[in-house]
């Protein structure tokens, strides 16, 4: 819909254009639409109303209703009304999707979880419940408000009232429309007030974690947010098929972005095509054999010694092929490139949902920010959530262990450079890094740059220095943890010494960090005695071969 005055895009629910201020005329005051309605309310809110002042209760309910609304709007639902301690929302009233009912059920579950999570943070016993129905409704403007009317609204409210704390009850229509994406259990003997003809409602139990595929899927996390890359590979494969020539494609992305995952997924999808067959070649392969009558898709992973031989074989065979290689490999062959960027937040949330069902934004967003949209890390966090781990110390430790293990792709020298660089913070400088390492770390930095783990800043804040930034916060946190406390404190003092003549603020920060670590070391010594060395043992990922310098 466009503003009749300035032609800027506007929403059907807006009365005035935010760009020019012109009134937006509604051509159809009301319209019949099939919608999925969600009614979510707070359980036992009267207790808070009686124990809090009116101002405190107003502020509390405002925050809770905002939490509920955020979860609904994240799945592109429309909040119709706030009714006391409840939210009435609809999917399909403003913007419609094929899976309106499933979105409504997911939003209801996520909203309840978000309220409980909010209560835990505030030290309050908060619980929610929800009802969901889908049917025809009249949608339009009444008294200057965009709203909807119909039995679907009243039934969703009745379903909510019949639900127990933490439950989502749905009508039989919702159960039928979402059978492929959600599992329900019929509530035998439960009859809704004023709606006996509707029969017994259904209790939401779980969500389907993965949709069926017509091809043999790669056994890994679902591929999310890579349709553009898959489409490009499809186009290049069509070129290889039509012209019967070899097309080399570099799959470019940082570690954990899903380079191998994308290659495997694309190859698996084409296993069912008669004139295409995937051939995986790795460093253990000793004999190169290609299908005699089909056009192959060749996945060349960790096979530096095979690339030249493969090139010769493909050319001599005079048959076309699509060869997918990771960026780490080098070749004189002319290549196309498929670049994998970090996942966006909506894609990250979709990845979570595909593995463990809807999760509140309050849980997904921090991990998204700390992983910078890294698909492998996000998939591991979702897997741990699915196993029942919450925001506990054990979850943090398991994720850190996964990150350290996953990034063992670094060579030992590059790992040493990165672990020391991580102690600088989110940004570091080549001169300081070289001083702490007591050697030139430029070659290893070049490898880290190629892998996309670090980025070089266009302008350095310290004159005549090259400044770099570490891409993934979680990786920096994990890399720092490989040092024992004493070694870490000594390195912080070395870094402070380098900053002393360049940035007094950064020098003070590292000096304080060293002092805090030494205080923690003393406390740990008192409580744990001789077990310190065992508990702070370095992980195999980053082997620091150089003994630390004495603090200056």
Instruction: Establish if 462 belongs to a structural domain.
Output: yes
Residues 159 and 307 reside in one and the same domain: no
Question: CB under 8 Å to 37, separation ≥6 — which residues?
Answer: 88, 89, 90, 91, 104, 132, 133, 134, 137, 148, 152, 153, 156
Q: Which of 339, 358, 390 is the last residue of a domain?
A: 339
Against a cut of 0.75, is the pTM above it? no
Instruction: Establish if 19 belongs to a structural domain.
Output: no
Residues 260 and 162 reside in one and the same domain: no
Q: Which residues are registered as beta bridge partners of 88?
A: 39, 81
**How many angstroms separate the CA atoms of 112 and 164, rounded?**
12
Domain containing 433 equals 412-535
Closest C-alpha among 533, 302, 541 to residue 412: 541
Instruction: Give how many domains the chain has, as a whole number.
Output: 4
pLDDT in tens, the chain (552 residues): 567 677 776 665 565 676 676 766 544 567 888 999 999 999 878 777 888 888 888 888 888 888 888 889 888 889 998 888 899 999 988 888 888 999 999 999 989 988 888 888 888 888 999 999 999 998 887 766 778 899 999 999 999 999 999 999 999 999 988 877 888 999 998 988 888 888 899 999 988 654 333 333 334 567 788 888 989 999 998 888 888 788 888 888 877 888 878 887 887 777 655 556 666 665 555 455 666 666 777 776 655 555 666 666 666 655 677 887 776 555 555 678 888 888 888 888 878 777 776 777 777 888 888 888 888 888 888 888 777 776 667 888 888 888 877 666 566 778 888 889 999 988 999 999 999 999 998 988 888 887 778 889 988 999 999 999 988 888 888 888 878 888 999 999 999 999 999 999 999 999 999 999 888 888 877 665 545 444 444 444 443 333 344 444
> If DSSP states are collapsed to H, E and C, what string results for 153-211?
HHHHHHHHHHCCCCCEEECHHHHHHCCCCEEEEECCCCCCCCCHHHCCCEEEEEECCCC
Residues 331 and 361 reside in one and the same domain: no
Closest C-alpha among 474, 430, 424, 464 to residue 449: 430
Neighbouring CB atoms inside 10 A of 543's CB total 13
Residues 248 and 299 reside in one and the same domain: yes
Give 275's DSSP letter: T
Contacts 24+ apart (CB under 8 A), 139-144: 139/30, 139/31, 139/32, 139/33, 139/35, 139/90, 139/93, 140/26, 140/28, 140/29, 140/30, 140/31, 141/26, 141/29, 141/30, 144/15
Residues 198 and 87 reside in one and the same domain: yes
Distances (CA, A) of 391 to 138, 380, 398: 43, 14, 11
CATH value at residue 522: 1.10.10
Residues 353 and 330 reside in one and the same domain: no
**How many angstroms separate the CA atoms of 122 and 111, rounded?**
17
Q: What is the DSSP string of 212-238?
A: --SS---SSS---S-HHHHHHHHHHHH
Instruction: Establish if 441 belongs to a structural domain.
Output: yes
Determine the distance from the C-alpha atom of residue 333 to the mean position of all C-alpha atoms in its chain, rounded to a whole number: 35
CATH value at residue 316: 3.40.50.300
**How many angstroms separate the CA atoms of 54 and 193, rounded?**
32
Residues 477 and 530 reside in one and the same domain: yes
Instruction: Establish if 547 belongs to a structural domain.
Output: no
Residues 51 and 166 reside in one and the same domain: yes
């Amino acid at each position: 819909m466009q503003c009749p005055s300035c032609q800027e895009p506007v929403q059907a629910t807006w009365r005035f254009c935010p760009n020019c201020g012109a009134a937006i005329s509604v051509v159809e005051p009301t319209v019949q639409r099939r919608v999925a309605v969600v009614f979510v309310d707070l359980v036992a809110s009267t207790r808070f109303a009686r124990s809090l002042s009116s101002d405190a209760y107003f502020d509390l309910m405002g925050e809770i209703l905002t939490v509920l609304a955020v979860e609904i709007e994240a799945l592109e639902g429309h909040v119709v009304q706030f009714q006391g301690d409840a939210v009435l929302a609809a999917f399909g009233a403003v913007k419609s999707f094929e899976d309106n009912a499933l979105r409504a059920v997911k939003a209801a579950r996520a909203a309840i979880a978000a309220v409980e999570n909010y209560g835990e943070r505030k030290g309050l016993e908060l619980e929610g419940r929800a009802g969901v129905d889908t049917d025809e409704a009249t949608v339009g403007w009444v008294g200057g408000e965009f709203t909807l009317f119909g039995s679907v609204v009243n039934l969703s409210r009745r379903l909510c009232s019949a639900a127990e704390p933490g439950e989502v009850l749905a009508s039989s229509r919702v159960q039928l429309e979402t059978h492929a994406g959600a599992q329900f259990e019929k509530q035998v003997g439960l009859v809704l007030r004023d709606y006996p003809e509707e029969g017994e409602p259904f209790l939401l139990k779980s969500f389907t974690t993965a949709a069926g595929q017509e091809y043999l899927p790669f056994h890994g996390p679902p591929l999310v947010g890579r349709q553009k890359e898959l489409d490009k590979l499809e186009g290049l494969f069509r070129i290889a098929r039509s012209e019967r020539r070899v097309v080399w494609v570099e799959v470019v992305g940082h570690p954990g972005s899903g380079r191998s995952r994308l290659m495997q997924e694309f190859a698996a999808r084409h296993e069912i095509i008669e004139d295409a067959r995937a051939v995986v070649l790795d460093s253990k392969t000793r004999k190169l054999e290609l299908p005699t009558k089909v056009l192959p898709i060749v996945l060349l992973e960790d096979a530096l010694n095979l690339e030249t031989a493969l090139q010769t074989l493909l050319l001599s065979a005079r048959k076309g092929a699509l060869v997918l290689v990771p960026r780490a490999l080098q070749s004189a062959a002319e290549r196309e490139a498929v670049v994998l960027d970090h996942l966006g937040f909506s894609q990250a949330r979709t990845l979570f949902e595909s593995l463990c069902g809807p999760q509140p934004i309050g849980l997904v967003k921090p991990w998204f920010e700390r992983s910078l949209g890294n698909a492998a890390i996000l998939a591991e966090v979702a897997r741990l959530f699915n196993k029942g781990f919450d925001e506990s110390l054990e979850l943090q430790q398991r994720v850190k262990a996964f990150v350290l293990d996953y990034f063992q792709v670094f060579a030992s020298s590059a790992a040493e450079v990165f672990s020391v660089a991580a102690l600088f913070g989110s940004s570091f400088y080549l001169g300081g890094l070289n001083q702490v390492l007591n050697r030139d770390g430029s070659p290893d930095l070049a490898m880290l740059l190629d892998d996309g783990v670090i980025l070089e800043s266009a302008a350095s804040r310290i004159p005549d220095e090259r400044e770099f930034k570490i891409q993934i916060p979680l990786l920096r946190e994990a890399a720092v943890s490989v040092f024992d406390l004493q070694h870490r404190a000594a390195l912080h003092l070395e870094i402070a010494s380098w900053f002393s003549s360049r940035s007094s603020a950064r020098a003070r920060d590292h000096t304080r960090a060293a002092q805090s670590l030494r205080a923690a070391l003393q406390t740990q010594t008192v409580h744990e005695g001789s077990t310190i060395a065992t508990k702070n043992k370095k992980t195999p990922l980053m082997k620091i071969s150089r003994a630390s310098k004495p603090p200056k």
